[in-house]
Structure formats: structure tokens, C-alpha cells
Amino acid sequence: MKPEWKAWAQEAKNEFPRANSALMPLMHRIQLSEGWLSNETIRDVAELMELPVQYVESVASFYSLFHRQAVGKRVIHVCVGLSCALKGSDELMHALEERLGIKEGQTTEDGAYTLLEAECLAACDKAPMVQVNLRYEGPVRPEDAERLLSEEVPS
């Protein structure tokens, strides 16, 4: 457990008096600094929030934006929702997979990229669209894959 987590937990609790409500902001904050939530982190969070580990694990696994495995510096979500699919998200995904040498759900060996799919991100007008570290970009055509990967991304 990082020393500052206690204070963060307190802040979250001040804002949301009920532990199960305060849980999410705390996990977001910890993930922002750690990149992901390990089993150990989950146990620490449970302790800080005085909740059962079982409960925290259920919440963390419910939301796909909580990472339960280590992720790369850049997390790319490719939207595979209907509009994006019609506009070629499949090809885009393949192109990215090829460039990065990994499959969807994996992280490159150097820890630079993680490639994930997402359901409709409510930006169908930009289809096919992606998120890079949660920042929306689109349309990204399959042939733009290279460009996407070379872009500077504010983390």
C-alpha cells in the first residue's frame, strides 16, 4: 500500500460518505497512478474502505475501464460497436494488431501499448473511432493505423 492512499481514501470518503460509493473514485485515482489494479491493490482498497475483498473485486471486474492486468503506457480502445463495425473497425483492429505484433487484449512486450476493444463509445459520427488513453480520435481508417501509433499522446 502506498502511503498516500490512506489520504486519498479519506478524501473519497469525505466526498461520498458510503464506502461503496467512495470506492470507485478511490480506485480510479489509484489506477491513474499505478496503471492497473493488482490483487494486492484490491486487497488494500478493501482494507481502506472496510469492504470485503469479494465486493471490491466484483466492482473492479464489472467496469471494463478498471484494468485487472498490467497495461502499456498507451491503452488503445478500438470501438467495435455497430456503426464503427460498418465503417471497418475490424480491419482497423487487424491493422493495429499487425503493427503492434499483439492480439486484442494484449500488451506489447516493451510495455508501450495495450490493445483493447470497446463497445459503442457514443461517438458514432466519428466511426470508426478509437480511444487512446481515453482520448477520442476518429475517424481512424485502417490505413491510418501507422499514423495513430506515431502520434504524440499526452498521457
Interface contacts to ligand FES, rule CB under 6 A: 79, 81-84, 120-124, 127, 129
Q: Please give the Cα distance from 133 to 110 (Å, whole number).
A: 17
Which window, 9-17, 48-56, 106-114, 121-129, contacts another protein (CB under 8 A)?
48-56
Q: Which is nearer to another protein, 63 or 98 (CB)?
A: 63
Q: Which is nearer to ligand FES, 30 or 148 (CB)?
A: 148
Q: Which is nearer to another protein, 33 or 39 (CB)?
A: 39
**Looking only at residues 26 through 45 of this chain, which bind another protein when binding is defined by CB under 8 A?**
39
Q: Please give the Cα distance from 23 to 113 (Å, whole number).
A: 27
DSSP 31: H
- Residue 152 lies near another protein (rule: CB under 8 A): no
Among another protein, ligand FES, none, the one that 33 touches (CB under a kind-dependent 5 to 8 A) is none
Number of residues that bind another protein (CB under 8 A): 11
| Cell numbers placing 140 | 481512424
- Residue 150 lies near another protein (rule: CB under 8 A): no
How many other CB atoms are there within 10 angstroms of residue 105's CB atom? 10
**Looking only at residues 64 through 83 of this chain, which bind another protein when binding is defined by CB under 8 A?**
64
Helices and strands (DSSP H and E) totals, the chain: 7, 4
Expressed in percent and rounded to 5, the helix, strand and coil fractions of the chain are 50, 10, 35
- Residue 50 lies near another protein (rule: CB under 8 A): no
Distances (CA, A) of 4 to 7, 43, 63, 72, 131: 5, 16, 24, 23, 29
Question: Where on the chain is the footprint of another protein (CB under 8 A)?
Answer: 39, 52-55, 57-58, 61-64
